[in-house]
Structure 1
Amino acid sequence: MSLFITFEGPEGSGKSTQARYLKDYLQQAGYPVILTREPGGTPISDAVRRLVLDGQWTAMEPTTETLLFAAARAQLVGEVILPYLKLGGIVLCDRYADSTFAHQGYGLGRNLTELREITRFATGGLQPDLTFFLDLPVEQGLQRKRKQRDDFRESSQLALPLPHLPQPSPSQNEHWNRLDAREIAYHERVRSGYLEMIAADPQRWQVFDAGIERESLTEQLLLAVQPHLTTIKTLS
């Protein structure tokens, strides 16, 4: 048996951090586990990530954005996720198809039926076994992201640039991208969309308060994953 767990949530909810903590815990416990992310996770998907999230592309059409995310996802599923699941491992993914429904569907108003067809084509119908939703009020999450952005800029200014290496532009800041910069109303629609999806499929989703202490949230996630590990063989 294998296990496919995805992390979703508003911007700044701490998904990436908690996914790393869970990966480290499972690895130390002897489970075969990998952590990947969307968009990204392969050289091709990472190239798409740089394109689709770069802040300079303000004129990108919603359809273009949707198809780029789907292309990155198709490569990640085919190259990384499916092969590891077939080996009986645990795959943790920082965002997956639900992000498309939330952002391009509810956020940008794209037709959800069309998005489901595109997603099914890109993933071969692969669904997560479990999705952890780290919930946080939109403004609180964006405040966290702004702080990360500002800290990044400050540290970049303090660092001495190496002349033989290309220097990242502000639009390539991993802590603040083209989607982060959208208006509050967009992010509110995204969060509302997530809550609708959770209500429609409560068996798959587990909701956590991302506003609590980081250590407490980690403990809750570790407890939540335990019942799903009974069919996974450890490496030892």
Structure 2
Amino acid sequence: MQSADDPLVTEVGVFVAFEGGEGSGKSTQSRLLSQWLESRGRRVLLTREPGGTEVGARLRSILLDPATGHLSPRTEALIYAADKAEHVDTVILPALADGSVVITDRYVDSTLAYQGAGRALHVNELESLARWATADLRPHLTVLLDVDPATGLSRAGEPDRIEGEPVEFHQRVRRHFLDLAATDPEHYVVLDANEAPELIHERVRAAVEPWLGQAREAVS
């Protein structure tokens, strides 16, 4: 996250991102965490990328529908960046300012892994674009659910446009996710997505709980 001393920073909540390859269980674990936090009286916003806004839902259809066909990797990256910009400005930042715990299924790391490592775009250039689109807003904690691509893809069902990429694409994505986590262990937890969902949820709770004390309700 940006420094609390930065006068442009208004968030008072906690920002948690779930990342991982296809079939890693991000949606399930995001939902379980949301339910647990709500049971403890926390204000929670559960969202996703792409598609966390009305505009984002339209962009998601373009990005994931196999009927879209081939897109230039740069075009694809720019559409993802547009989704992120709208999502951060209209959904995530207002919720953080409201004191909520924001849980997102995918965030900037997915762009770096899929469009960077997967599509072989220059990662440093791509990161500059993604950080600009999100005003450099970073999660307090990123939960990386790690799974072998062959296993994950077998769980995914009918493949969308991204899931339909060759397994080598998804292997590059996985390696980049793990590389990102290794660079900043204070803000990442890597969990084995092959474990039972209930056990993964327990480990997610243990990783998230220390950050909850940093949240404070916005002054009404």
The TM-score normalised by the length of structure 1 is 0.85
Aligned partners of 1:31 and 1:234 also within 8 Å = no
The answer to whether 1:21 aligns with 2:32 is yes
Asked if structure 2 preserves the Cα contact closer than 8 Å seen for 1:105 and 1:115, the reply is: yes
Verify the 8 A CA contact 1:134 1:210 in the aligned structure 2: yes
Aligned to 1:30: 41
Tell me the CA shift for residue 233 of structure 1: 4.5
Does residue 91 (structure 1) correspond to residue 74 (structure 2)? The answer is no
1:195 maps to amino acid: L
C-alpha separation in 2, matches of 1:57 and 1:138: 23
Give, in whole Å, the separation in 1 of the partners of 2:184 and 2:160: 29
2:59/2:79 contact within 8 Å kept: yes
Structure 1 stretches of at least 4 aligned residues deviating more than 6 Å after TM superposition: none
Tell me how many residue pairs correspond in the alignment: 207
Q: CA deviation at 1:116?
A: 1.4
Give the alignment's Cα RMSD to 1 decimal: 1.3
| CA distance in 1 between partners of 2:73 and 2:135 (Å) | 23
Larger CA deviation: 36-45 vs 225-234: 225-234
Do structure 1's residue 39 and structure 2's residue 22 form an aligned pair?
Answer: no
Residues 98 and 217, structure 2, Cα contact 8 Å, conserved in 1 = no
Q: Distance in 2 between matches of 1:99 and 1:212?
A: 22
Deviates more, 1:224-233 or 1:19-28: 224-233
Given residue 19 of structure 1, which amino acid in structure 2 is its aligned partner?
S
Identity %: 41
Question: For 1:225 and 1:196, how far apart are their aligned partners in 2?
Answer: 21
**Other-structure match for 1:3:** 14
Query: In the alignment, is the contact (CA less than 8 A) between 2:99 and 2:217 conserved in 1?
Result: no
Distance 1:230 1:52 in 2: 37
Deviations 1:38-92 (A, max 9, x none): 0011100111001111101222110110000000110000100001111221100
Letter in 1 for 2:95: Y
> Deviation at 1:35?
0.4
Alpha-carbon separation, structure 2, partners of 1:202 and 1:130: 10
Counterpart of 1:126 in structure 2 is: 137
Unmatched tracts of structure 1, length 5 or more: 150-175
Structure of larger gyration radius: 1
How far, CA to CA, are the matches of 2:102 and 2:191 in structure 1? Answer: 20
Which residue does the alignment assign to 2:186? Answer: 203
Give the 3 Å change call, closer, same or farther, for CA 77–234 of structure 1 in structure 2. closer
Residues 13 and 217, structure 2, Cα contact 8 Å, conserved in 1: no
1:134 match: secondary structure: strand
Residue segments in structure 2 that go unaligned for 5+ positions in a row = 1-11
Q: Give the CA deviation at 1:234.
A: 7.2
Normalised by the length of structure 2, the TM-score is 0.91
